[in-house]
Amino acid sequence: MGMMQEFKEFAMKGNVMDLAVGVIIGGAFGKIVDSIVGDLIMPFIAWVMGGKLDFSGMFLVLGKVPEGTATTLDALKKAQVPVFAYGNFITILVNFVILAFIIFMMVKQINRLKKEEPAAPPAPPETPEDVLLLRQIRDSLKK
């Protein structure tokens, strides 16, 4: 029973729940970034480069292609021909760079929005006892 209680305490801590929410939101956010890259950025890069450029279809054939096999990436993989599929890596790399930039901008904005508490003004130095005594003497002499 002790182990179950420990697990319950661990699982119910705020940090664990925050992490779980973060992972779920991160998964959904990853799909948004995939869509941005695949549907907006890659077509624009292809257009700038002058044609239909699909990074996911870029590969190098490393083995012998059997006769009658199509030279598409899917067909070569089904035929178990070794291929160096660098295009998919480029797409994933672009996804990562965009995601990292977006997270950087979000953290930057959050830090900017967090108001720094103004530092408390330094307390005036404590007046030494002899100075206080001299002030009392001065004040009593004025009377």
Res 53 pLDDT > 80: no
Whether 23 maps to a domain, the answer reads yes
The pTM of this model reads 0.51
Least confident span in 44-48, 56-60, 131-135: 44-48
Residue 57: DSSP 8-state: G
Establish if 106 belongs to a structural domain: yes
Inside any domain, residue 19: yes
C-alpha 63/C-alpha 74 separation (Å) is 15
Average pLDDT of the chain, as a whole number: 82
In a domain, 142, yes or no: no
Neighbouring C-alpha atoms within 13 Å toward the C-beta of 17: 5
For residue 16, the domain's CATH number is 1.10.1200.120
Whether 22 maps to a domain, the answer reads: yes
Q: Is 18 helix (H, G, I), strand (E, B) or coil?
A: helix
State percent of the chain over pLDDT 70. 95
Q: What is the DSSP string of 86-115?
A: HHHHHHHHHHHHHHHHHHHHHHHHHHHHSP
What is the per-residue pLDDT across 84-118, written as a single tens digit (0 to 9) for each? 988 888 878 877 887 788 778 888 888 888 877 67
Q: What domain range includes position 62?
A: 2-116
136 domain residue, yes or no: no
Phi, psi of 84 (to 5 degrees): -100, 95
Q: CA 64 → CA 8, 76, 88, 106, 132, distances in Å?
A: 56, 10, 22, 48, 98
| Model confidence pLDDT, tens digit, residues 54-67 | 677 788 888 888 88
pLDDT of residue 54: 63
What is the count of structural domains for the chain? 1
Higher pLDDT, 116 or 25: 25
Whether 134 is in a domain gets the answer no
Q: Would you say residue 141 lies in a domain?
A: no
